[in-house]
Chain A
Amino acid sequence: FYLTPPQVNSILKANEYSFKVPEFDGKNVSSVLGFDSNQLPANAPIEDRRSAATCLQTRGMLLGVFDGHAGCACAQAVSERLFYYIAVSLLPHETLLEIENAVESGRALLPILQWHKHPNDYFSKEASKLYFNSLRTYWQELIDLNSGETTDVKEALINAFKRLDSDISLEAQVGDPNSFLNYLVLRVAFSGATACVAHVDGVDLHIANTGDSRAMLGVQEEDGSWSAVNLSYDHNAQNEHEVERVKMEHPKSEEKSLVKQDRLLGLLMPFRAFGDVKFKWSIELQKRVVESGPDQLNDNEYTKFIPPNYHTPPYLTAEPEVIHHRLRPQDKFLVLATDGLWETMHRQDVARIVGEYLTGVHHQQPIAVGGYKVTLGQMHGLLTERRAKISSVFEDQNAATHLIRHAVGNNEFGTVDHERLSKMLSLPEELARMYRDDITIIVVQFNSHVIGACQNED
């Protein structure tokens, strides 16, 4: 069985999405030029999610990748809801009041977010009312709490993450009279998801990360070469600080059982996550919810199972680690990706491949001879040079697709091997997950001109 290059391309491009920030008067005043995103499933259905949106009531753009585990329910819910929580956390008091009044009096609501979605990125219609009510409760509390201070982005991000996770937990405990929704909120709470979210506003870039997805900045050095700067820390057993943190939060007696085989309680790879109430609730609460829950839940061995050495919950938090970075003109792009990418590629390679791709695209402007005097030899030299630069870029119009092509198809020499690509993509469903993980990538391209101008103003 062999996939032809067009077949490979149609698989790779099935989920690709590109967004260009619209220009006004021929000028793009945003620090973001646009972004490319794509997903390649290994699980069926895919457990990764992605989101991108522009904040309409504040400035800035939100982008995030979410890696689900134990099902896709939690990742799905987070991908739909988190940006609303963040946007609301960032809103000034007056705007919150205005929104609340509009809801109260049944007037049209100010739009909060403009989503940039691929047709496959869906929102749950059934749960929208429930989600909305939870969100409204949140902003009502924010209105009551009015501190009068301007909102700090870092704090807003942390609050939004924590609040959403607690809402997920609460909704599962309370349940819903609608049996479909009741089952849904339980599935969301019992599955888990990591999140890596970027908020870009002018030169201010904030990364809020929970779990083992990663954000990486692509920097072009003066000599034109590419280097990578990490803008997040993985929350897993490889991160000493994280292991330290977990140990600090629990009694010394548990030290040995907390992290086993590089997993939290010997079970969970990421050390921070949304959902996963099995690592957050007390044993009594878990039993009560499971027993009163629907049969599907009760019959599920996974949900009934209590992690071993489970003495002092919670063991898990959704609180993100937030890193702030001031963008410089040499910061050309940001890559947000789930661990499926980072398992197969070193960040340095990611920086190089995306960097060369993005600059290659510019080189692809067609040549025209026009009225110039050009000899065959000169033209040949020029073309050979161009070809060397763009050969591998040729097929992709999307940086994320290009990166996936390399991640899946790279041979030992670091070039894409079509045969390998074909094999990896034609693996049967049940085998695919053994060779690769779901991969979700967002590549955000920055506008160096705008960033440079901002810097000079300062």
Chain B
Amino acid sequence: AAGMFLRLLSDVRWRATNPKWRRMTCSQRSTSSTAEPHPVSLPAQAQVVICGGGIMGTSVAYHLSKMGWKDIVLLEQGRLAAGTTRFCAGIVSTARHISIELKMADYSNKLYQQLEQETGVKTGYVKTGSISLAQTQDRLISLKRIASSLNVMGIPCEIITPKQVAQLHPLINIHDLVGAMYVPEDALVSSANVSLALATAASRNGVQIHERTSVSHVSVQKGRVTGVETDRGQIQCQYFVNCAGQWAYELGHSGEESVNIPLHACEHFYLLTHPLKEPLASNLPTIVDPDGRIYIRNWQGGILSGGFEKNPKPLFTEGRNQLEIQNLQEDWDHFEPLLSALLRRMPDLEALQIMQLVNCPESFTPDMRCILGESPAVRGYFVLAGMNSAGISYGGGAGKYLAEWMVNGYPSENVWPLDLKRFGTLQSSRTFLRHRVMEVMPLMCDLKVPRWDFQTGRQLRTSPLYDRLDAQGARWMEKHGFERVKYFVPPGKDLLDLDQSKTFYKPDWFDIVGSEVKCCKEAVCVIDMSSFTKFEISSTGDQALESLQYLFSNDLDVPVGHVVHTGMLNEKGGYENDCSIARLSKRSFFMISPTDQQVHCWAWLKNRLPDDSNLTMEDVTWKYTALNLIGPRAVDVLSELSYAPITPEHFPSLFCKEMSVGYANGIRVMSITHTGEPGFMLYIPIEYALHVYNEVMNMGQKYGIRNAGYYALRSLRIEKFFAFWGQDLDAFTTPMECGREFQVKLEKGMQFVGQEALLEQKQNGVYKRFTMFILEDHDTDMDLWPWWGEPIFRNGRYVGKTTSSAYSYTLERHVCLGFVQHFDEKTGEELVVTTDFINQGEYEIDIAGQRFQAKAKLYPFSSLFTHRRRKDEVELSGYQRE
């Protein structure tokens, strides 16, 4: 068996210029590992230490050294590219669902293509193209969505018929296919050789590479990396990069200061065969058959075929286990469904002789996306791991982004979907990871439909009202481990049908959410929004105010009791967070941020607030249950429950007051709703949650109160053109670009982060503009629904992508939100986007290849709504006087 693997590596022509290193690597095939002396001693210090000599570690080293960082040491416990990287199937595929992943894969492909020329190391790069097959119409829709994304990025790609598939690949049985996607520039490489090529180039640039050196732990002082401890001595360093692959979790937890890297290994199998009688051409396209859960590529005249089975075998749950490593054997019975799928796809292979079934563990993450970025707990501790078996596709791009992050402070693209800080310690339980990756691995091949939820690892964080809401028909989704209600199934509805609403078309909850929205518009609804991240920041003197004024763009020096919507911006003026801050007293502030900001926002503030014992920040997320009373009747319910006047004169918009609700005192009431509808947020100490909820529901009965969920909220906020951080806003979006100039106080009398960038934008204009689109000729019942990531076309030319969408029950139309850019027709250069540019275009939104006319708007229909609301308020005050 071992001989075969060596052959995978056999065509490496070693031409490293560093003679010391050559000596080391030449002996890497020697059989006796113990006798071999370590030729070079470790340096005492370095700027960067990278742990892991697989594709990730070498790619990070390559890019760092290219960007000018030279003082880098790469440590590999065994030999370079000898772990998962060596066993990798070597398929470079750009067909990815998420835009950032697509960009990484595209970059990797281009990098590998010229790598051989650059380094002289043979990488085995062959541009074969890839064909993704669809056995069902839904699968074809999914492929068409990807094709749309690839096309607007300039990556050649087309949807082809089964007949065309047969022309491209002689062995494929096309009888059960409805179509396919062809990406002609996808490629095959020898991943081990790519890794060695990257290492060679890095080494030429001065990176020191040491094999057979294991990192035992990372030393940390005052929250910063200070060095690493290895089995061959200590190295002092400022930066540590954990590229330890499936061992990254263990390594993260080996130090005194734990760095949680949530990933878990699963066994992964693929088959190698002897050559066919007539050996397969080396440029034959790679086949991906997601409905059969397999991929098939040509390999030395034969084939290599593996897949993602429904019943994965997780391993190393208890850490590195010698027994499990030894037991990594071919498991043919386990492979049987995949072999069946292979023979169904290529029946002529029956007579082909088996060479081997390879078992190579791959690491998977809780949300199927890789993990990249700096630890929130330890500064200078970077991570790149958890590739969900797409390591070779992402390797180049991921290494580049991480290097940019380290050198420049932030990568050149928004990598939030991959950021380590999207996870917290709550995802670090081994049981959670084991269960979740068993769900994630099969998902690699499952249809990605809008609004699907993970089934495992649920009910971890819940509101105290969970059981009450559940009993009333709540259907749940999860965000950052927190259960949130999607909608409430009315009694008598068929439950099973609703749970299986996996579709690209109109979902079966359409009417349910519609009635919740209607109730929000006309009466009053209550939505449990406890998952939102809540911090309290206070100080003995003016430190809190001063620090926050510097860190936030809006003016926070407002009278006590006022609530301010503000961005937490980076130097470039981009949103690191979008939050609401209430001034509780002269010296203390209550801050509400999106749910998934819990780790990121904490780390951002911790790193920037002055180290002053008189200034304290506390995460109080768990202390409060948040109820959103939303709708024109919210004010009646609240005033009846509190015996306090809640008229606009007493309780204007964006106001915060502690008051009693029912028997419970100390409820923090804010006149905000996050949707633009009238209403209140109630922040309730958790032990009062049930009481207040009961009181609200009882009192609300006569006003027609009912429960509502996040789908209703989403529809409301999107039709009101409210941008949400994490969906519409990210670190590359400024307030100026999304019509939020009013939330920036450039003249608040003191400097704040991002001010200069915003000033410049104010003077010179913006290069993208957040725009609202109302679909015109879209049939809600018959047409595919928009989701997000759909390309936007202006006068037939691509100008940007949508970031979120929802059906507006008020407009009875679909609304998409997204960013419009202005590319010069000849040069492609980005130009300033003006209001006229937006208003004077004909727009189309591309949903899975089908274009729908859309009307662009830069401002919401707010006048219409506010008018009606004022009328209500007049009536209301009249009613109260009676």
The answer to whether B336 and A383 touch across the interface, beta carbons within 8 angstroms, is: yes
With A369-B357, A375-B352, A377-B350: A384-B336 Cβ-Cβ less than 8 Å: yes
Residues on B with C-beta less than 8 A from A386 are 333, 336
The answer to whether A383 and B333 touch across the interface, beta carbons within 8 angstroms, is: yes
Residues on B with C-beta less than 8 A from A367 are 330, 332-333
The answer to whether A376 and B349 touch across the interface, beta carbons within 8 angstroms, is: yes
The answer to whether B351 and A375 touch across the interface, beta carbons within 8 angstroms, is: yes
The answer to whether B329 and A379 touch across the interface, beta carbons within 8 angstroms, is: no
B68-103 to A contact mask, C-beta < 8 Å, 1/0 = 000000000000000000000000000000000000
The answer to whether B340 and A380 touch across the interface, beta carbons within 8 angstroms, is: yes
The answer to whether A6 and B357 touch across the interface, beta carbons within 8 angstroms, is: no
Residues on A with C-beta less than 8 A from B435 are 6
B354 contacts the other chain (CB 8 A): yes
The answer to whether A376 and B329 touch across the interface, beta carbons within 8 angstroms, is: no
The answer to whether B343 and A368 touch across the interface, beta carbons within 8 angstroms, is: no
Q: Which of B349, B351, B356 contacts A369 (CB 8 A)?
A: B356
Total CB contacts across the A-B interface at under 8 A: 63
Q: How far is the CA of A387 from the CA of B336 in the complex (A)?
A: 8
With A6-B435, A369-B354, A375-B354: A380-B330 Cβ-Cβ less than 8 Å: no
For window 346-398 of A, CB contacts with B under 8 Å fall at 364, 366-369, 373-377, 379-380, 382-384, 386-387, 390
Q: Which of A369, A382, A387 contacts B330 (CB 8 A)?
A: A369
The answer to whether B340 and A366 touch across the interface, beta carbons within 8 angstroms, is: no
Residues on A with C-beta less than 8 A from B340 are 380, 384
Q: How far is the CA of A384 from the CA of B333 in the complex (A)?
A: 9
B627 contacts the other chain (CB 8 A): no
For window 345-401 of B, CB contacts with A under 8 Å fall at 349-354, 356-357
B474 contacts the other chain (CB 8 A): no
Residues on A with C-beta less than 8 A from B339 are 376, 379-380, 383
Chain B nearest CB from A363 CB (Å) reads: 10
The answer to whether B332 and A376 touch across the interface, beta carbons within 8 angstroms, is: no
B318-331 to A contact mask, C-beta < 8 Å, 1/0 = 00000000000111
Residues on A with C-beta less than 8 A from B330 are 366-369
B588 contacts the other chain (CB 8 A): no
The answer to whether B354 and A379 touch across the interface, beta carbons within 8 angstroms, is: yes
B671 contacts the other chain (CB 8 A): no
The answer to whether A377 and B343 touch across the interface, beta carbons within 8 angstroms, is: yes
For window 177-233 of B, CB contacts with A under 8 Å fall at none
Closest to A368 in B: B330
Residues on A with C-beta less than 8 A from B273 are 376
B592 contacts the other chain (CB 8 A): no
Residues on A with C-beta less than 8 A from B525 are none
B9-30 to A contact mask, C-beta < 8 Å, 1/0 = 0000000000000000000000
Residues on B with C-beta less than 8 A from A4 are 455-456
B342 contacts the other chain (CB 8 A): yes
Residues on A with C-beta less than 8 A from B352 are 375-376
For window 138-159 of A, CB contacts with B under 8 Å fall at none
Chain B nearest CB from A360 CB (Å) reads: 12
The answer to whether A366 and B343 touch across the interface, beta carbons within 8 angstroms, is: no
Closest to A377 in B: B350
Chain A nearest CB from B299 CB (Å) reads: 14
Q: Which of B329, B332, B351 contacts A377 (CB 8 A)?
A: B351
The answer to whether A374 and B329 touch across the interface, beta carbons within 8 angstroms, is: no
Closest to A367 in B: B332
A156-169 to B contact mask, C-beta < 8 Å, 1/0 = 00000000000000
Assign chain B's interface to a size class. 20 to 34
The answer to whether B354 and A366 touch across the interface, beta carbons within 8 angstroms, is: no
Chain A nearest CB from B650 CB (Å) reads: 46
Closest to A390 in B: B333
Closest to B271 in A: A376
Q: How far is the CA of A390 from the CA of B333 in the complex (A)?
A: 10
Chain A nearest CB from B336 CB (Å) reads: 4
Chain B nearest CB from A372 CB (Å) reads: 9
The answer to whether A387 and B333 touch across the interface, beta carbons within 8 angstroms, is: yes
Residues on A with C-beta less than 8 A from B455 are 4
The answer to whether B333 and A376 touch across the interface, beta carbons within 8 angstroms, is: no
The answer to whether B343 and A373 touch across the interface, beta carbons within 8 angstroms, is: no
Chain B nearest CB from A180 CB (Å) reads: 39
With A376-B339, A376-B342, A379-B354: A366-B349 Cβ-Cβ less than 8 Å: no
The answer to whether A366 and B329 touch across the interface, beta carbons within 8 angstroms, is: yes
Residues on B with C-beta less than 8 A from A382 are 332
Chain B nearest CB from A368 CB (Å) reads: 6
With A380-B340, A380-B343, A383-B339: A373-B353 Cβ-Cβ less than 8 Å: yes
Residues on A with C-beta less than 8 A from B456 are 4
Chain A nearest CB from B295 CB (Å) reads: 16
Q: How far is the CA of A379 from the CA of B330 in the complex (A)?
A: 13
Residues on A with C-beta less than 8 A from B353 are 373-376
| A4, A6, A374, A383: residue with the most chain B Cβ atoms closer than 10 Å | A383
Q: How far is the CA of A375 from the CA of B356 in the complex (A)?
A: 11
Q: Which of A6, A366, A373, A390 contacts B332 (CB 8 A)?
A: A366
Residues on B with C-beta less than 8 A from A373 are 353
A1-41 to B contact mask, C-beta < 8 Å, 1/0 = 00010100000000000000000000000000000000000
Chain A nearest CB from B435 CB (Å) reads: 7
Residues on B with C-beta less than 8 A from A368 are 329-330
Closest to B1 in A: A370
Chain B nearest CB from A36 CB (Å) reads: 22
The answer to whether B336 and A376 touch across the interface, beta carbons within 8 angstroms, is: no
Q: How far is the CA of A379 from the CA of B331 in the complex (A)?
A: 12
Q: How far is the CA of A386 from the CA of B330 in the complex (A)?
A: 16
Chain B nearest CB from A397 CB (Å) reads: 15
Q: Which of B271, B331, B350, B356 contacts A366 (CB 8 A)?
A: B331
| A366, A369, A387, A390: residue with the most chain B Cβ atoms closer than 10 Å | A369
Q: How far is the CA of A161 from the CA of B333 in the complex (A)?
A: 49
Residues on A with C-beta less than 8 A from B354 are 369, 374-376, 379
Chain A nearest CB from B729 CB (Å) reads: 36
Chain A nearest CB from B95 CB (Å) reads: 26
Closest to A373 in B: B353
Q: How far is the CA of A386 from the CA of B342 in the complex (A)?
A: 18
Q: How far is the CA of A390 from the CA of B271 in the complex (A)?
A: 23
| B333, B339, B349, B456: residue with the most chain A Cβ atoms closer than 10 Å | B333
Q: How far is the CA of A390 from the CA of B710 in the complex (A)?
A: 45
Q: How far is the CA of A386 from the CA of B340 in the complex (A)?
A: 14
Residues on B with C-beta less than 8 A from A376 are 271, 273, 339, 342-343, 349-354
Residues on B with C-beta less than 8 A from A364 are 333
Residues on B with C-beta less than 8 A from A377 are 343, 349-351
Chain A nearest CB from B647 CB (Å) reads: 46
Q: How far is the CA of A384 from the CA of B339 in the complex (A)?
A: 10
Chain B nearest CB from A423 CB (Å) reads: 14
Chain A nearest CB from B382 CB (Å) reads: 35
Q: How far is the CA of A387 from the CA of B334 in the complex (A)?
A: 10
Residues on A with C-beta less than 8 A from B343 are 376-377, 380
Closest to A363 in B: B333
Q: How far is the CA of A376 from the CA of B303 in the complex (A)?
A: 11
Q: How far is the CA of A373 from the CA of B352 in the complex (A)?
A: 10
Closest to A5 in B: B311
Q: How far is the CA of A376 from the CA of B329 in the complex (A)?
A: 18
Chain B nearest CB from A5 CB (Å) reads: 9
Chain B nearest CB from A437 CB (Å) reads: 30
Q: How far is the CA of A390 from the CA of B330 in the complex (A)?
A: 18
Please give me the 6 A-B residue pairs with the lowest Cβ-Cβ distance, nearest first: A377-B350, A383-B336, A367-B332, A374-B354, A376-B352, A375-B351
A-B contact pairs, 26 of them (CB 8 A): A6-B435, A366-B329, A366-B330, A366-B333, A367-B333, A368-B329, A368-B330, A369-B330, A369-B332, A369-B354, A369-B356, A374-B353, A374-B354, A375-B353, A375-B354, A376-B342, A376-B352, A377-B343, A377-B349, A380-B336, A380-B339, A383-B339, A386-B333, A386-B336, A387-B333, A390-B333
A sample of 16 more A-B contacts (CB under 8 A), given A369-B354, A374-B354, is: A364-B333, A366-B330, A366-B333, A367-B330, A367-B333, A368-B329, A369-B332, A376-B339, A376-B342, A377-B350, A379-B332, A379-B339, A380-B336, A380-B343, A383-B332, A386-B333
